[in-house]
Copies of this chain bind each other. A is one copy, B any other.
Amino acid sequence: MSLTSAVKEIRATREGTWILTAQCPSRLGTVDVVTRFLREQGCYITEQQSFDDSASERFFIRTEFRPLDVDQGGEFDAAAFEAAFTHRASGFDMTFELTPPERLVPVVIMVSKADHCLNDLLYRYRTGQLPITIKAVISNHPDLASLAEWHGLDYHHLPITADTKPEQEQAVWSIIEGCGAELVILARYMQVLSSDMCERLSGKAINIHHSLLPGFKGARPYHQAFEKGVKLVGATAHYINDDLDEGPIITQGVEAVSHADTAEDLVARGRDIECLTLARAVALHVQRRVFLNGNRTVVFQR
């Protein structure tokens, strides 16, 4: 299936649906300022979820809508919509994002040697299951070049040592910036990013850690899990921050294991749940279902 026809299939099911997401400090009227505006603009709401977090005193909303003008042959003027909404919401200290229906989020994927998460993401990309466009694959190892290249993707081999870390990260950043990536997926990239890099990528980089955080942070979590004798292993997809394996969690997956599984068996068993958990997190992110809320997330599931 060509990428184009796959994307068309996505469109067919959610044809012409825009997404408006917004957040602001809690106060009276937050929902109304959004929904009344949509009504006045002739926007037809198909799904909406909002949540007001009493702990952080912040408000979050996600709306899927179809501009009715378009159904009647007109055109939806996104710039005008944004300008008008900015004006309308000015008293609410609100940030918002408007996402068009055919929008493919530009993405960079970073990997090391393990290929399972990359392979899984590339399959979903190739078949149009994820509304992303992969701009580049970056690795500190050459191993996965042929996999990336079979999918017609640029593969940047940027080796790293303790000494060359600043330069390597600068090169990585140049690629990310140069291609306009809005999301970086750390698909089993086995390097700790510098504080500086974490800062730059805040809220824009998703990592998959191969344990149920906060259990088994750091290196070789399956070997830690084996030693501890747990009966469940798992994976955690989270935004990175400067505190290793402590960033805001998006989603987690779990798999039962037994006494007969060696540490290597756990590694093998974990691959599927890592792939699924990372892919689910990416899908939630690009569908604008995830909001940062301090060190936690708000996730509006379908």
Contacts and interface: CB of A to CB of B under 8 A. Distances in A.
Interface of A: 1, 9, 12-13, 28-32, 35-36, 38-39, 42, 44-55, 68, 115-116, 119, 123, 127, 129, 143, 150, 212-216, 228-232, 234, 248-252, 254, 258-262, 264-265, 268, 271-272, 276, 293, 295-299, 301-302
A53 B259 contact: yes
Instruction: Select the residue from A231, A262, A299 with max chain B CB neighbours within 10 A.
Output: A231
A209 to B, nearest CB: 12
Contacts of A272: 276
A92 to B, nearest CB: 13
Which of A47, A127, A214 has the largest count of B CB atoms less than 10 A from its CB? A214
5 contacts: A31-B35, A31-B38, A44-B52, A49-B50, A261-B302
Contacts of A54: 46
- Residue among A119, A232, A250 facing the most chain B CB atoms (10 A cut-off): A232
Given A52-B47, A54-B46, A68-B28, A231 B252 contact: yes
Contacts of A30: 45
A180 B216 CA distance: 39
Contacts of A52: 44-47
A299 B259 contact: yes
Nearest to A120: B123
Contact of A299 (B234, B248, B258, B299): B258
A143 B6 CA distance: 14
Nearest to A13: B264
Contacts of A39: 28-29, 31-32, 36
B234 A249 contact: no
B127 A1 contact: no
Contact of A150 (B150, B248, B295): B150
A72 B29 CA distance: 17
Report which residue of A51, A54, A264 has the largest number of chain B beta carbons within 10 angstroms of its beta carbon. A51
Contacts of A50: 45, 47-49
A28 B44 contact: yes
B1 A115 contact: yes
A273 to B, nearest CB: 10
A232 B214 contact: no
A38 B299 CA distance: 25
Which 8 A-B pairs rank lowest in CB-CB distance, beginning with the nearest? A229-B296, A32-B39, A215-B215, A259-B298, A48-B50, A35-B35, A13-B264, A232-B252
